[in-house]
Amino acid sequence: MARAIQVIGIEGLPEVRPGDDLVALLLGALAAEGLALEDGDILVLTQKIVSKAEGRLISLSEIEPSAFACLVAHQMGRDPRLIEVILREARRIVRMDRQVLLVETPHGFVCANAGVDRSNVGEGRVALLPRDPDASARTIRHEIQRRAGVEVAVLITDTFGRPWREGLTEVAIGVAGLAPLKDYRGQRDRFGVPLQATVVAVADELACAAGLLMEKLAGIPAAIIRGYGYEPKEGTASALVRPPERDLFR
Amino acid sequence: MARAIQVIGIEGLPEVRPGDDLVALLLGALAAEGLALEDGDILVLTQKIVSKAEGRLISLSEIEPSAFACLVAHQMGRDPRLIEVILREARRIVRMDRQVLLVETPHGFVCANAGVDRSNVGEGRVALLPRDPDASARTIRHEIQRRAGVEVAVLITDTFGRPWREGLTEVAIGVAGLAPLKDYRGQRDRFGVPLQATVVAVADELACAAGLLMEKLAGIPAAIIRGYGYEPKEGTASALVRPPERDLFR
């Protein structure tokens, strides 16, 4: 039998609101589809529904932009209140050029607009990244274990750009229950030659696999990946963040 | 029924040699597993087997390193002949620092070592990227259509690093039969707010999904992705290469 992985979209979730019990909504949506989580599944959630459940939403009407935010907004032709929110969610500006505001978030992620996003949250509002996406993933994992009695790994993902390549891809910003990196260094290939510099970001590859179904307009904010033999581990998305001393693009 | 995608590993391929009929080997390996390609499948192949079939292999013993290659190799503690091959496969050096030789290839891809790779090709040899991976993908797609009578898309992939994030992920370097980018710009979210800057690199997400099975040591150099509704198009991996005027990291 060939090795195979399944990616299953979770549909039918209602609009998630601050304070909602996301695990209950997910288990309910799965049950309504006749699906159930199984031991060894990876549950992948878009950042947006986690942020909504955690109340990480801001109305731009409540924001008083700073002088610097106004200046940047003017240069970029953007809303000063949005720029203000982005700056508050950033700890370092990596590039500010040609409509792009690329920052490092407090988590260490380098992404456009600090992950602040206007889509699917309603006019005049923006969603922020979860404050601690690893903790969010851990809580969801434990609640699923407690309520459904299954051992799953959980990934929380967002859609990031990258240098040199067009198009965004999904990346893991929160990890619980699996090792996000797979390290082949020191192992030998089939000719006996040692593998070099081969550490694979499996959490990001899993995020991309789920991203194929979790499309912006498809109403699928979560997915199950079944059949991938991951290494069980507490896990953290910070393992995916390159430390400054190894970063050639600061 | 929930929307689902399957990723199926293709096992049992023999060691591929220069001049081998890769399509015949693939169809044979599938038949031996009781599998068959279906219309709408995406066939994903690692660069390595394509390069091997195309004879893109070099014995380092045949290489005479230049003075510059010797200098760089000395600084990095690496084999001058390997550095010479990398420089011959590059059209621009993007970064040369701390053991990393990051170059732009003639195709426009920015990657470490110009994609020149020692793994799984035997001691003293290296594999180069296919000269024209889009053409390789197109040929394979047409041969499958001709011999098996099915309409599939073909991706050729390699494993690249990226700034700011640890770990390598799979990317598409050759595309045939699908649109590598999915453009949501101008569409509206469920609240009626226009989506901005949302172009998704589906070819790279597909590459990552396949990469979960096409592991370095698993003996799975190819995979089928089934159930993903791609946009049929001639396709080219050059659409995934950011043009210089949009590149903030030259």
What is the three-class DSSP state of A9? strand
**Contact (CB<8Å) B193/A123:** yes
> Three-state DSSP class for B14?
coil
**pLDDT over 80 (residue B184):** yes
Q: Which of residues 56-95 of A touch B (CB under 8 A)?
A: 95
As given in the structure block, the two tokens for residue B132 are 């024209």
Task: Please answer whether residues B118 and B91 qualify as being in contact, where contact means their C-beta atoms are separated by less than 8 angstroms.
Answer: no
Alpha-carbon distance B163 to nearest alpha carbon in chain A (angstroms): 6
DSSP 3-state of A229: coil
* Range A132-137, long-range pairs (CB < 8 A, 24+ positions): A132/A107, A132/A174, A133/A47, A133/A50, A133/A107, A133/A173, A133/A174, A133/A237, A134/A174, A134/A175, A134/A176, A134/A235, A134/A236, A134/A237, A134/A238, A135/A174, A136/A50, A136/A54, A136/A174, A137/A45, A137/A174, A137/A175, A137/A176, A137/A177
Name which of B9, B11, B29, B33 is nearest B21 in CA terms: B29
- Matching CATH number, A58-126, of 1.20.1420.30, 3.40.50.970, 1.10.8.50, 3.90.1660.10: 3.90.1660.10
User: Collapsing DSSP states into helix, strand and coil, what is residue A158?
Assistant: strand
- The reported pLDDT for the residue numbered A175 is 98
Q: CA of B243 to nearest chain A CA: how many angstroms apart?
A: 8
Chain A hits for B242, Cβ within 8 Å: 163-166
Would you give the distance in Å from CA B155 to the centre of its chain?
7
Which B residues in the span 209-238 are in contact with A, Cβ-Cβ below 8 Å?
209, 211-213, 215-220, 228
- pLDDT 10s digits, A17-28: 999 999 999 999
Mean pLDDT of chain B: 95
ipTM of the complex: 0.97
CA dist., res. B65 & res. B78, Å (int): 12
CB A109 within 8 A of CB B162: no
Q: Which of A48, A169, A230 to mutate to test binding with chain B, by most B CBs within 10 Å of its CB?
A: A169
Structure tokens at A67: 């002088």
- Residue B1: pLDDT over 70: no
CB contact under 8 A, B200 and A159: yes
B170 at interface of A, judged by CB pairs closer than 8 A: yes
Task: Find chain B residues with C-beta within 8 A of A235's C-beta.
Answer: none
Nearest-angstrom CA–CA distance, A142 and A138: 6
Nearest to A246, CA basis, from A194, A182, A199, A187: A199
CA-based Rg of chain B, rounded to a whole angstrom? 19
Percent of chain B with pLDDT over 70: 99
Interface check for B164 against chain A (CB to CB < 8 A): the answer is: yes
Q: Tell me, what's the pLDDT at B210? A: 98
Tell me what the mean pLDDT of segment B64-76 comes to: 96
SS3 state at A23: helix
DSSP lists the bridge partners of residue B96 as: B101
DSSP-derived pairing of the beta strands A153-162 and A92-97: unpaired
Residues of B in contact with A184 (CB under 8 A): 216-217
| Inter-chain touch B168–A200, beta carbons under 8 Å | yes
The CATH H-level superfamily of A6-53+130-243 is: CofE-like (3.30.1330.100)
DSSP state of B219: T
> DSSP secondary-structure letter at B227?
S
Residue A33 pLDDT:
93
The whole-number average pLDDT for the span A208-219 is: 90
pLDDT tens-place string over residues A18-65: 999 999 999 999 999 999 999 999 999 999 999 999 999 999 999 999
3-state helix, strand, coil in chain B (%, to 5): 30, 30, 40
What does each C-alpha distance from A133 to A47, A121, A129, A130, B55 come to in angstroms?
8, 19, 8, 5, 46
Name B206's Cβ contacts closer than 8 Å, sequence gap at least 6.
A212, B42, B44, B155, B172, B225, B228, B230
The answer to whether the CB atoms of A241 and B166 lie below 8 A apart is: yes
Q: Nearest CA to A78 among A93, A90, A96, A56? A: A96
Question: Sign of the C-alpha dihedral, residues B89, B93, B98, B100?
Answer: negative
Q: Which of A3, A119, A212 sits opposite B202 (nearest CB)?
A: A212
How far is the alpha carbon of B147 from chain A, nearest alpha carbon, in Å? 22
Q: What is the pLDDT of residue B194?
A: 82
Q: Is A11 left (phi over 0), alpha (psi -120 to 50) or beta?
A: beta
pTM over 0.80: yes
pLDDT digits (tens, 9 = 90+) for A63-115: 999 999 999 999 999 999 999 999 999 999 999 987 889 999 999 999 999 99
Reference B201, options B242, B158, B160; nearest CA is B242
Q: Which of B8, B91, B99, B165 to mutate to test the interface with A (most CBs of A within 10 A)?
A: B165
Q: Considering only alpha carbons, which residue of chain B is nearest residue A29?
A: B2
* pLDDT tens readout for residues A159-206: 999 999 999 999 999 999 999 999 988 898 888 888 876 899 999 999
Nearest-CB residue to A204 (from B121, B201, B208): B208
pLDDT of residue A170: 98
Question: Hey, what are B131's tokens?
Answer: 């000269």
Whose tokens are 């990226």? That residue is B162
Taking CB atoms and an 8 Å cutoff, what residues of chain A touch B2? 8-11, 33, 35
Q: Do A212 and B195 touch (CB under 8 A)?
A: no
pLDDT in tens, B186-238: 898 888 888 876 899 999 999 999 999 998 777 899 999 999 999 999 999 99
Does the pLDDT value for residue B136 go beyond 70? yes
Question: How far is the C-alpha of A171 from the C-alpha of B10, rounded, in Å?
Answer: 26
Among the partner-chain residues A5, A213, A216, the one whose CB lies closest to the CB of B212 is A5
Is residue B156 pLDDT above 90, yes or no?
yes
Q: How far is B115 from chain A (nearest CA, A)?
A: 13
Q: Are B145 and B151 in contact (CB under 8 A)?
A: yes
| Domain segments of chain A as ranges | 6-53+130-243, 58-126
Determine which of A46, A60, A159, A165 to mutate to test the interface with B (most B C-beta atoms within 10 Å): A165
Do the strands A57-59 and A125-127 form a parallel or antiparallel pair, or are they unpaired?
Answer: antiparallel
B6-52+130-246: which CATH number, 3.30.390.10, 3.40.50.300, 3.40.50.920, 3.30.1330.100? Answer: 3.30.1330.100
**CB under 8 Å to B116, separation ≥6 — which residues?**
B82, B85, B86, B89, B126, B127, B128, B129
Angle between helices A80-88 and A67-76 (to 10 degrees): 120
Chain B hits for A166, Cβ within 8 Å: 181, 199, 201, 239-242, 246
Q: List all residues of chain B from 13 to 32 with a beta carbon under 8 Å from chain A.
A: none
Q: How confident is the model at residue A1 (pLDDT cuts 50, 70, 90)?
A: low
Q: Do A167 and B199 touch (CB under 8 A)?
A: yes
Q: How far away is chain B from the Cα of A138, in angstroms, using its nearest Cα?
A: 21
